[in-house]
Structure 1
Amino acid sequence: MEIEGAMGQYVDFCCSCKLNPLFKGHPFRPTRWIRLVPVASVYTLKKMQGRFWNSKSRKNRKKFKAIVPQVVATCIAALFHIVVGISLAFSAILLPQLEESQNSTNLDTIHITKTEGSWIASILVIVTPAGAIIAGFIMDAIGRLNMLKLAAIPGAIGWVLIATATNVPMLLCGRVLTGFCSAWATSPAIVYITEIAKPDIRGSLVSIAPAFASLGMVVVYLKGWFLDWRLVAWLTNIYTIISVVMIMFIPESPVWLVSKGRIEQARKSLEWINRYQPQPEHKSESFAEMQLAYLQKEHMIKKEQEAQLLGGDGSKRKLKMFFQPTGYKPMLILTGLFFFQQFSGIYITLFYAVTFFKDVGSTINPYLASVFIGTVRFVMSMANTWFMKRFRRRSLMTVSAAGMALCMGISGLFTKWIHEGDDTYNWVPVVMLLLYVVASMLGLLSIPWTMTAELFPLAIRGVAHSIAYGLANLLMFASIQSYYSLTDIFGGSSGIQYFFAVVALGGLAYSVVFLPETHRKKLKDIESYFLTNTMYYSFSCNNKTKPNKKPTTQKNEQRKPIVKNSRVQVIDKKISNDQSLKMITSKA
């Protein structure tokens, strides 16, 4: 009985260690283990199991427990991104339902044209840059969390206008207000997460926000499959109310509190965020107090730097930096990247998802296909953090653009065959579009947005980021607004897919020629790159053609005496002529 019980403990131990007890190479395989039972007994196995859990799992549990408050605060601050995702994808369910009800005689039916439909989809994008700029000033004045609460006001009013709309102007006004809500909720949430997160987990926590936005897209696609668009608009306000209520249970950003001189509130905020942090060894201060002292010091340094920058002709210096290679080259490269991003169909398939799948002609329910698309975006948004850390930017962009072009080209070909009457493989376009979304998430969707914070010098980074963000939204507005026109120009759904494939190939060529590599590069190295390079190809050629200066001296060995303990020891040491010359010139 003791042996059977011990064997059970052993198997449990192997399972906990994820080991196979029957594997021949296992150091504790049964034939060897049974001989040890009389000596080791059950006590030894329990001790081994306890040592395993004590040495690794306990440390992991402590580390995880220490970051729990940061994770909770991040998830609550990012809740508004669910509403943002619903706002972005709402036109995908609104427009097809309005088109289906055009022949209805109901009094609440809204009749729209294709031009009006494109404005309903795209107007949200055009107001986002202005809303983001306004949010930047307001959140610096009233705080990050108060800005999130304020964002609920235009959001709630906008969704009520949409739900009760009787004409197109009411829908447009509602979309404008929800656009301001999206801008006012996105920027403060990202800033808040950045300011409370530890540096080693900051990237992972920031990625929660876009993941929640992708979740909102899945929610709206799923609801649009079963519910009327008016009811979906009413239900969206529930997420808004829940977000505002939950925000009341987390503390304000300690960085902002220190900047406003609210030291005591900043201390309480840091104590909440770091409540499970262990007491530093050989320190009388708590972890929160050490963080507070660090934030105060950083705030003083930042104030001095801002005073130097803004003093005298600081504004003129900033303006001149935009006309230097480190200013205008990154802006031109990013503008090209955003052009290929927007006109390769990435956001068009988001804003017109259901309509797009209807035009393809597949027998798969277009709402179900849209749910699949949203789910893939959600999963890839979480996995993208790992890809960005693991692989180079240029490699990701190459794979992404090539994959998008291939998938969209195949989808366009099968769409053409479906329209010609051959529906044998009518599922292929849906599968190809799912793979297209996967490919887009790897590079062409995410990397241009990431590079807005990497390519510019520190002195103009904030202003340059805002300008690049505004240009990207203008291009997004142009692509979404022109979808129906482009479809007519290129002859239908298959033609527009061929167009997207060609643009993706253009993005591939553009990335190979112009895109700089920023993965694991210091910001100063990126800045120095633009001083002498515009095309990455020329940069690579210059590096390859640099002469590899190797010493051409003969293998002569010089003997150098070393005196040690009154005895002369002779050692062999190779000294090249180049090294000798450097030594002589340095002495001279």
Structure 2
Amino acid sequence: MEEAEEKQSERLTVEHVPQLPKEPEVKRKKRIFMQVLMVLGASIGHLGLAVVAAWPNPAIPELQRNNTNIYGSYMSLNSWQLDMLGSLVSLGNLPGTWIWGLLVANIGRRRSMMFLIVPYSIGWGLVAFAPNAPVLLAGRFFHGICIGATFVSASTYIIELPDTSVRGAMATIPSLVLSCGFILATGLGLCFRWFEIAFVGVFIIVLQVMVLLVLPESPSYLAIKDRENEARVVLKKLRGPSADISQELQDLKKQNQDKIEGSFFKVLQDTDILKSLGIITVLFFVQNFCGLMVFIVNMTRIFIEAGSTLDEKVSSILVFFVQAAGNLLACLYLDRFGRKLCLIASLAVMTMCLMVMAVYHHLKNYTEVIDVVVSNGTDFTTTGTITESIDGMPTWVPLVCLMVYMFTSSIGAGPVPALLNSEYFPTAVRSQLSGICMAIGSIFNFATLQLFSPLQEVLTVAGIYWFYAFISAAGIIFTLVCVKETKGRSVG
């Protein structure tokens, strides 16, 4: 009797499950293409971010050769201040991530991205019209606010738009746009002065605001803010007719209910949250201290130090082109092979490239001590030494190594930490927790950029590449042991 009642109950349950229509493949492709366009629109800010980050590549060599400002007057910068042009943005990251983390959680992802026009305009204005070094450095601090704010707001928005099946590929689009921005920034240096690039930067962020006017708010944000009707409209457009939107909304609210009702400090006491924070923090440490950010910001300086015969700006553009190709490849394969495997493969090849660079600089600067006997015109002789440097090292080695390094970094070490920084955390506290990780990453970024020159003096140029190689190799072991795969999992 009880078995009959259970079967009857199961039959009724099945009958009440709505039979959703199957989506034709043509319509699915159109819907995914629409998601791509939306993600591209939200990624315009990453183009502006890339110009901000890579600006020292065209600016520093020019400031060393022709350090006049927009007024035509002389502006002196010492080596410490030149380093600060790259590293100071990391300090600006800290208030940028915290302020925009709060804005994203309280006023929404889309609106917080529109407010980015404020720090971008201030930062580029200070850079363009800087009469002296302190004002120029102040502009770079505001550039740091732009970087932190863009990553927190745009990354949170982008990760919440796509279908689960293509989320990894979509999340690499900002990295592809970043690579294009690096090419743009370095290319602008071929035809514009360092202060003229600022006007291009302002134009990009204005374009971003105009595009955001036609984009919808994140459905995840709308759902947890009890704006369910608006969330349904957006989700219906994003997911298509075959998706159970009601179930997605229900799951989303259920997964975030305790995070909404509890205090943020209570969330930080959650063991799983703390473990995720630790994993992401270590990944950001590896990303910075394997040399990736140093190469992006100081690419032209590195080519000059390596003795490359090709123009340093042209060499940098070639490397960034290869990086863009790697990001395009990541769009196609990150969801197929998974985040963990791509990160391990990326770090493995990067380690080999760094080791080759270390050996190259060691041989390039190798000195051989030869004992000689010199007659002093008497019955005695004195022993001396001759130091010789090995010349004729192939100058194409740094270019090839950095091209391979940047290509492989773009399929793993570059995009994966930022992707996991969004995927690891629940929607209700995603922006705050991501902001914490970004703030810690900013400290790492400042340290690795500001320590670049001092470490070269202490460890030698070859030694710093060995150091980066060690960190990269350690990152492989950490990924194998600690990083969990998120491919195909829904973002709660």
| One-letter amino acid of the structure 2 residue matched with residue 483 of structure 1 | F
Map of 1:234 onto structure 2: 199
- What is the distance in 1 between the residues matched to 2:161 and 2:315? 38
For residues 28-53 of structure 1, give each alpha carbon's deviation from its aligned partner in whole angstroms, at most 9, with x where no partner exists: xxxxxxxxxxxxxxxxxxxxxxxxxx
CA contact 1:85–1:214 (8 Å) conserved in 2: yes
Larger mean CA deviation between 450-459 and 137-146 belongs to 450-459
Map of 1:39 onto structure 2: none
Picking from 484, 500, 503, the partner of 2:453 is 484
- What is the distance in 1 between the residues matched to 2:183 and 2:146? 19
| One-letter amino acid of the structure 2 residue matched with residue 236 of structure 1 | G
Picking from 29, 50, 63, the partner of 2:28 is 63
Map of 2:144 onto structure 1: 179
- What is the distance in 2 between the residues matched to 1:78 and 1:305? 31
State the shift of 1:342 in Å.
2.1
Structural RMSD (CA)? 3.6
Q: Quick check: 1:85 aligned with 2:58?
A: no
Q: Quick check: 1:345 aligned with 2:291?
A: yes
User: Cα–Cα, structure 1 residues 344 and 82, in superposed 2: closer, same or farther, change >3 Å?
Assistant: same
Q: How many residues align?
A: 444
- Written as runs of structure 1 = structure 2, the 5 A alignment for 1:202-221 is 202-221=167-186
Q: Quick check: 1:147 aligned with 2:112?
A: yes
SS in 1 for 2:410: helix
Q: Quick check: 1:373 aligned with 2:326?
A: no
State the shift of 1:163 in Å.
1.0
State the shift of 1:180 in Å.
1.9
State the shift of 1:515 in Å.
4.1
User: Cα–Cα, structure 1 residues 387 and 296, in superposed 2: closer, same or farther, change >3 Å?
Assistant: closer
TM-score normalised by the chain length of structure 2: 0.78
For residues 61-84 of structure 1, give each alpha carbon's deviation from its aligned partner in whole angstroms, at most 9, with x where no partner exists: 332112233222221111111001
State the shift of 1:355 in Å.
1.1
CA contact 2:123–2:139 (8 Å) conserved in 1: yes
CA contact 2:256–2:427 (8 Å) conserved in 1: no
State the shift of 1:296 in Å.
5.1
Unaligned runs of 5+ in 2: 1-22, 366-388
Question: Between Structure 1 and Structure 2, whose CA radius of gyration is higher?
Answer: 1
User: Cα–Cα, structure 1 residues 320 and 95, in superposed 2: closer, same or farther, change >3 Å?
Assistant: same
Picking from 394, 398, 403, the partner of 1:425 is 394
Map of 1:131 onto structure 2: 96
- What is the distance in 1 between the residues matched to 2:430 and 2:125? 38
Q: Quick check: 1:473 aligned with 2:442?
A: yes
CA contact 2:58–2:194 (8 Å) conserved in 1: yes
Picking from 343, 355, 360, the partner of 1:409 is 355
Map of 2:404 onto structure 1: 435
With a CA cutoff of 8 Å and minimum separation of 6, indicate the structure with the bigger relative contact order.
2
For residues 462-490 of structure 1, give each alpha carbon's deviation from its aligned partner in whole angstroms, at most 9, with x where no partner exists: 76654433322211110101112122223
State the shift of 1:430 in Å.
1.0
User: Cα–Cα, structure 1 residues 365 and 416, in superposed 2: closer, same or farther, change >3 Å?
Assistant: farther
User: Cα–Cα, structure 1 residues 454 and 181, in superposed 2: closer, same or farther, change >3 Å?
Assistant: closer
For residues 419-458 of structure 1, give each alpha carbon's deviation from its aligned partner in whole angstroms, at most 9, with x where no partner exists: 6463462112211121122343344444444554677899
- What is the distance in 2 between the residues matched to 1:414 and 1:501? 11
Map of 2:132 onto structure 1: 167
- What is the distance in 1 between the residues matched to 2:234 and 2:426? 32
User: Cα–Cα, structure 1 residues 486 and 90, in superposed 2: closer, same or farther, change >3 Å?
Assistant: same
User: Cα–Cα, structure 1 residues 189 and 455, in superposed 2: closer, same or farther, change >3 Å?
Assistant: closer
| One-letter amino acid of the structure 1 residue matched with residue 250 of structure 2 | K
For residues 228-247 of structure 1, give each alpha carbon's deviation from its aligned partner in whole angstroms, at most 9, with x where no partner exists: 11111112211112111122
Identity %, equivalent residues: 23
CA contact 2:339–2:486 (8 Å) conserved in 1: no
CA contact 1:144–1:192 (8 Å) conserved in 2: yes
Unaligned runs of 5+ in 1: 1-57, 281-286, 525-588
CA contact 2:357–2:465 (8 Å) conserved in 1: no
CA contact 2:175–2:410 (8 Å) conserved in 1: no
State the shift of 1:320 in Å.
4.7
Q: Quick check: 1:384 aligned with 2:308?
A: no
SS in 2 for 1:347: helix
User: Cα–Cα, structure 1 residues 296 and 111, in superposed 2: closer, same or farther, change >3 Å?
Assistant: same
- What is the distance in 1 between the residues matched to 2:234 and 2:211? 16
State the shift of 1:213 in Å.
1.4
- What is the distance in 2 between the residues matched to 1:461 and 1:68? 26
Map of 2:254 onto structure 1: 301
- What is the distance in 2 between the residues matched to 1:98 and 1:417? 31
User: Cα–Cα, structure 1 residues 108 and 82, in superposed 2: closer, same or farther, change >3 Å?
Assistant: same
CA contact 1:376–1:438 (8 Å) conserved in 2: yes
| One-letter amino acid of the structure 2 residue matched with residue 297 of structure 1 | Q
TM-score normalised by the chain length of structure 1: 0.66
User: Cα–Cα, structure 1 residues 261 and 391, in superposed 2: closer, same or farther, change >3 Å?
Assistant: closer
SS in 2 for 1:516: helix
Map of 2:368 onto structure 1: none
